[in-house]
Amino acid sequence: MVSKLKLLGIGTAASVIALGAAQAQDPVSLTIVSWGGAYTASQNRAYHEPYMAENPHVTIINDDGSANALAGLRAQSQANNVTWDLVDMLPSDAQLACDEGIIMEIDHDEMLAAGPDGTPASEDFLPGSLGECFIPQIVYSTVLTYRPGAFDADNQPDSIEALFDVENFPGQRALQDRPGTNLEWALYADGVDPDDIYDVLATPEGVDRAFAKLDTIKDHIIFWTEGAQAPQLLADGEVVFATGYNGRMFDAIEVEGMDAAIIWDGQVVEWDGWVIPAGGRNIDAVMEYVYWATDTQRLADQAKYISYGPARASSAELVGEHADLGIDMGPHMPTNPDNYFAPIVLDNDFWADYGDELRERFANWMLQ
Say what the pLDDT of residue 2 is: 40
Intervals of the chain under pLDDT 70: 1-24
Can you tell me the distance from the alpha carbon of 131 to that of 129, in angstroms, rounded to the nearest whole number? 7
Question: Are 215 and 227 part of one and the same domain?
Answer: yes
313 belongs to a structural domain: yes
Q: Residue 181: which of 131, 243, 237 has the closest Cα?
A: 243
- Whether residue 45 is contained in a domain is answered as yes
| 8 assigned to some structural domain | no
Cα dist from 325 to 41, 141, 175, 188, 306, whole Å: 15, 22, 29, 35, 11
pLDDT at residue 337, rounded to an integer: 82
Q: What is the DSSP letter of 25?
A: -
**Residue 31: which CATH number?**
3.40.190.10
Q: Model confidence over 161-208: pLDDT tens digits?
A: 999 999 999 999 999 999 999 999 999 999 999 999 999 999 999 999
Chain centre distance of CA 176: 15
Task: Compute and round to an integer the Cα radius of gyration of the chain.
Answer: 24
The answer on 168 and 230 residing in a single domain is: yes
Are 220 and 113 within one domain?
no
Residue 136's nearest CA partner among 257, 290, 336 is 290
Pair (297, 263) in one structural domain: no
Residue 11 is assigned to a structural domain of this protein? no
Q: What is the pLDDT of residue 24?
A: 61
Residues 156, 128 within the same domain: no
Q: Report the pLDDT value the prediction gives residue 21, as an integer from 0 to 100.
A: 39
Residue 56: which domain range? 26-139+272-332
Within this chain, do residues 126 and 146 fall inside the same structural domain, yes or no?
A: no
Q: Are residues 352 and 226 in the same domain?
A: yes
Phi first, then psi: what are they for 225, rounded to 5°? -115, -50
256 lies in a domain?
yes
**Tens digits of per-residue pLDDT, 247-275?**
999 999 999 999 999 999 999 999 999 99
What's the domain count of the chain? 2
pLDDT for the residue 263: 98
Q: Is 3 a member of any domain?
A: no
Provide the pLDDT for residue 18: 39
Do 288 and 353 have their domain in common?
no
Residues 145 and 239 in one domain: yes
Give residue 82's Cα distance to chain centre: 22
In a domain, 174, yes or no: yes
| Residues 324 and 198 placed together within one structural domain of the fold | no
Report the helix count and the strand count for the chain, using DSSP H and E: 15, 10
What pLDDT sits at residue 115?
Answer: 97
Residues 213 and 362 in one domain: yes
Residue 16 lies in a domain: no
Residues 229 and 302 in one domain: no
Q: Which pLDDT score is estimated for 238?
A: 98
